[in-house]
Homo-oligomer: A and B are copies of this chain.
Amino acid sequence: MTDQADGSATGRRPTMIDVARAAGVSLKTVSRVANDVPTVRPALAERVRTAMSDLGFQRNSVAANLRSGRTTGTIGLIILDLANPFYSTIAAAAAEVAERFDTQLITASSGWDTARERELVLDLCERRVDGLIIACTGGDQSYLDEIARGTPVVFIDSPPSGPRSDMVLLDNRTGTRDLFRRLIAEGHREIGTITDTLNDFTMRERLAGAREALREAGLESGRHAARIYSDRPRSAGDAVGAMLDGPHPPTALFCGNNRILLGAVEELVRRRSRLRLAAFDDFEFAPLLPHPVTVVSYDTRALGRLAAEMLFQRIGSPRTDPSTYVIPTYLIDRGTMIADTG
């Protein structure tokens, strides 16, 4: 025995055909009701709606999109690591914009792996996402030309190597230059820098900004430079330790991103060092760090929001020239100077 009058199998989800049969109307009328087409006699519409709820009908939007050939109402976001607050903030902001366009966000992490990034792009294109936002790895993105054919892409945080595209970037260079100018104005001449190898572009830009400020002041750069090869804060802490224990310890320290800063602060706290500290990236907990720090800050949510808005704009008009939006950066003195809590 089945639980449906028309004898359709239990377990199968009811389709518009089932609803049509139950309501004694044609498939098309059901479709009209489901799409709120106004030209349906109220009485009929009511009967259809009753049948729908009786059967527990739920329209299959996948099938709907297949025929109409319109958008699927999904966009893909490929980032490096969803667990990193920088990227999750971007994801949240992008999702908010997507909501305005009745679009869902598929979020995937590439984990700094270019091959994985490529796989994800392919997979998402095969799912026919309406567009992609990509925080790309340091690798080569030429594959996009053959893979993303027609799927609009906006890059964030760092530009792709290869294709010309819409981009939303941070003003890495200016931010770091201003930061170094301040450190130099404070009298620092030996500034240690710690960067990582995970995001070549941003780190290069930040270092270029640093060099600019140093050159203006007639200072050498690169005397205290360390690069780390993971995003574990501990690696950064070790690098800081090595620097401080070296023959020419710096008087100030610049951390290339928030994770490096985290490791550096840990190490400095452990050593009860009062080294002048500065970093790129601001974050919610920065004001509470136990070591004063001056950071290059910017509006992370704006980055995600603009990227999504740019993408929907591009989806609307595919054949205009790509453009780049640069998010401004500014300095903030953060961190507390906690006295005698011991």
* Interface size range of chain A in the complex: 35 or more
Nearest Cβ in chain B — how far from A68, in angstroms? 12
Question: Taking A83-B89, A338-B269 as contacts, is the C-beta distance between A104 and B108 under 8 angstroms?
Answer: yes
Nearest Cβ in chain B — how far from A145, in angstroms? 9
Interface flag for A229 (CB, 8 Å): no
Contact call A288/B266, Cβ cutoff below 8 A: yes
Task: Tell which of A57-65, A169-177, A307-315 binds the partner.
Answer: A57-65
Contact call A341/B291, Cβ cutoff below 8 A: yes
Contact call A82/B88, Cβ cutoff below 8 A: yes
Contact call B62/A128, Cβ cutoff below 8 A: yes
Nearest Cβ in chain B — how far from A258, in angstroms? 10
Nearest Cβ in chain B — how far from A33, in angstroms? 15
List residues of chain B with CB within 8 A of the CB of A58. Answer: 122, 125-126, 147, 149
Question: Taking A91-B88, A127-B61 as contacts, is the C-beta distance between A108 and B105 under 8 angstroms?
Answer: yes
Interface flag for A186 (CB, 8 Å): no
Nearest Cβ in chain B — how far from A112, in angstroms? 14
Beyond A11-B150, A13-B149, A106-B107: 9 further Cβ-contacts under 8 Å?
A: A58-B147, A62-B127, A62-B128, A81-B92, A82-B95, A83-B89, A290-B290, A338-B342, A339-B342
